[in-house]
Structure 1
Amino acid sequence: MAIFNLGSVNIDHFYTLPHLPAPGETLSATGHTLGLGGKGMNQSVAAAKAGASVFHIGAIGKRDAWVRDKVQSYGVDCKFLRMVEQDTGHAVIYVDAEGENTIVLESGANMQQDSEFVVNAIDQAAASDTLLIQNETNLQAFAATFAIVKGMRVIYSAAPFSIKAVTDLVPDVSMLVMNSVEAAQLCSEMGVTLDKIPAPQVMVTLGAKGAMWRSNETGEVIEVSSPAVHPVDTTAAGDTYIGYVAAGLDLGMPIKAAMEWAVQAAALKVTRHGTADAIPTADEVKSFRAA
């Protein structure tokens, strides 16, 4: 079994600040680092570090071969990572003294996905495999339709939130994943409650409180709590969680066990600065759980 991820790849610029800037305010950063990120890549790296076989489908600028090398160093297969003329996507991330963040994205090459290339990549997957998608690339609805016809599990992160993207994708997803704010937005826009969302499974991440999953086919609900930690950077916590859930399911875990594993991984992640580079490995999560 394997995970195929049509996902964004970003070069992340982190600025640590005493507090997030108010409108019109100029602040001096207390630090700056460069890292690897993007919701898609974060999820790929998390799933690979968890022990799954991961193939990332995406695009980066031709000048950024180092990005491919970095991704491969984390165990992600990059044979479906195209090099294009457009610059690699990037993000400017402000992190305050409490670990909260504000992010500005420039999509760049992430919106240069090629339909024939995407189909050829997914066509190499098996029905037992998983497709991950998010809202930071183009062609995600196209990819989901093709994957669901193949019989694949399709896990869709509805972020950054877009009601149009969700309504386009929901008919072809196995599991819809949102945070609590996105879930409230979706329910408000659609005029429904979670149990009426037209997706077989819905998962809501709840930050420090943990996560909730429900089957809209059977009505079963599972809730897991997160261990208490002192966060220094909450960036990519949700992506870490989703990557670990996807890996757990791909490795044959029941949904509850995958969720419990994932909240531990996300909790450990927020004690570290950074995005993909800071996501913990399965061995690190095991040590953290045993502590």
Structure 2
Amino acid sequence: MAIFNLGSVNIDHFYKLAHFPEPGETLSALDHTLGLGGKGMNQSVAAAKAGAEVFHIGAIGKSDGWVRERIEGYGVNCKYLREADEATGHAVIYVDASGENTIVLAPGANVQQDSEFVVNAIDQAKSTDTLLLQNETNLQPPAATFALVKGMRVIYSAAPFSIEAVKNIIPDLSMLVMNAVEASQLSSEMGVSLEQIPVPQIMVTLGSKGAMWRSNETGEVIEVTSPKVTPVDTTAAGDTYIGYVAAGLDLGMPIKAAMEWATQAAALKVTRAGTADAIPSADEVKAFRGA
């Protein structure tokens, strides 16, 4: 089995601040670092570090060969990572003293995906494989439709959140993943409760409280809690969680075991500064769980 991820790739600029700037305020950063990120890439790296076979489908600028090398160094297969005329996407990430963050995105090549290229990549997958999707690229709905027709598991992370994007893709999903605020907004917009949303499975991430999974086919509900840690940087915690859940399912774990594993990985991630570069490996998560 394997995971195919149609996802964003960003070059992340991190600025460590004493506090977030007020309107009109100019601040000097305490530190600046450059890293690899994007919700899609974070999830690919998390799944690969967890031990899954991962193929990333996406696009980067022609001048950023180092990005491909860095991704491959984390064990992600880049045979479906296309070079585009547009520049690689990038993000400006402010992190305050408490570890909270604010992010500004410039999508670049992430929204220049080629339809034929994406379909051909997914066509190499097997029915036992998983397609991961997020809301930072174009072509999500046709990719989901094609994957579902092939019999693949389709997991969609509804972030950055857009109600219209969710409504367009929801008929072709196996699992919809949202945080608590997004879940409330979607339920309100559609005028239904979570159990009435027309998708087989729903997962709601709850930050430091853990996560909830629900089967809308059987009514089964599973809740897991997260270990208490002192956060350094919450960026990519959700992506770490989703990547580990996808990897756990791909490796044959029951959903509860995959969720428990993923909450440990996400908790460990927030103790580290950075995005894809800071996501822990399976061995590191194992050591953390045993601590």
TM-score range, shorter chain: over 0.9
Query: How big is each residue's C-alpha offset from its partner over 1:91-127, in whole Å with a ceiling of 9 and x where there is no partner?
Result: 0000000000000000000001001000100000000
Work out whether 1:32 is the aligned partner of 2:32: yes
Work out whether 1:170 is the aligned partner of 2:170: yes
Q: How does 1:53-92 map to 2 (within 5 A)?
A: 53-92=53-92
1:283 is aligned with what amino acid?
D
User: Which whole-Å CA distance do the structure 2 matches of 1:193 and 1:31 have between them?
Assistant: 44
Give, in angstroms, the shift of residue 36 of structure 1.
0.2
SS at match of 1:272: coil
What does residue 191 of structure 2 align with?
A: 191
What does residue 290 of structure 1 align with?
A: 290
Q: How does 1:2-21 map to 2 (within 5 A)?
A: 2-21=2-21
SS at match of 1:77: coil
User: Which whole-Å CA distance do the structure 2 matches of 1:269 and 1:277 have between them?
Assistant: 10
1:225 is aligned with what amino acid?
T
Give, in angstroms, the shift of residue 178 of structure 1.
0.4
User: Which whole-Å CA distance do the structure 1 matches of 2:165 and 2:255 have between them?
Assistant: 25
User: Which whole-Å CA distance do the structure 2 matches of 1:96 and 1:136 have between them?
Assistant: 24
Identical-pair percentage: 81
Work out whether 1:222 is the aligned partner of 2:222: yes
What does residue 262 of structure 2 align with?
A: 262
Question: Runs ≥4 in structure 1, deviation > 6 angstroms?
Answer: none
What does residue 158 of structure 1 align with?
A: 158
Work out whether 1:115 is the aligned partner of 2:141: no
2:26 is aligned with what amino acid?
T
SS at match of 2:232: coil
What does residue 98 of structure 1 align with?
A: 98
Name the TM-score, length of structure 2 as normaliser. Answer: 1.00
SS at match of 2:223: strand
User: Which whole-Å CA distance do the structure 1 matches of 2:230 and 2:61 have between them?
Assistant: 36
User: Which whole-Å CA distance do the structure 2 matches of 1:261 and 1:7 have between them?
Assistant: 23
2:46 is aligned with what amino acid?
A
Give, in angstroms, the shift of residue 12 of structure 1.
0.2
What does residue 129 of structure 1 align with?
A: 129
SS at match of 2:102: strand
User: Which whole-Å CA distance do the structure 1 matches of 2:171 and 2:154 have between them?
Assistant: 11
What does residue 143 of structure 1 align with?
A: 143
Unaligned runs of 5+ in 2: none
Unaligned runs of 5+ in 1: none
Q: CA RMSD in A?
A: 0.4
SS at match of 2:203: strand
Give, in angstroms, the shift of residue 39 of structure 1.
0.2
Name the TM-score, length of structure 1 as normaliser. Answer: 1.00
Give, in angstroms, the shift of residue 72 of structure 1.
0.1
Give, in angstroms, the shift of residue 181 of structure 1.
1.2
Give, in angstroms, the shift of residue 184 of structure 1.
1.2
User: Which whole-Å CA distance do the structure 1 matches of 2:289 and 2:119 have between them?
Assistant: 39
SS at match of 2:86: coil
1:206 is aligned with what amino acid?
L
User: Which whole-Å CA distance do the structure 2 matches of 1:57 and 1:48 have between them?
Assistant: 14
Work out whether 1:276 is the aligned partner of 2:276: yes
User: Which whole-Å CA distance do the structure 2 matches of 1:63 and 1:182 have between them?
Assistant: 36
Give, in angstroms, the shift of residue 25 of structure 1.
1.5
1:188 is aligned with what amino acid?
S
SS at match of 1:142: helix
User: Which whole-Å CA distance do the structure 2 matches of 1:202 and 1:22 have between them?
Assistant: 37
Give the number of aligned pairs.
291
Give, in angstroms, the shift of residue 251 of structure 1.
0.1
User: Which whole-Å CA distance do the structure 2 matches of 1:174 and 1:33 have between them?
Assistant: 37
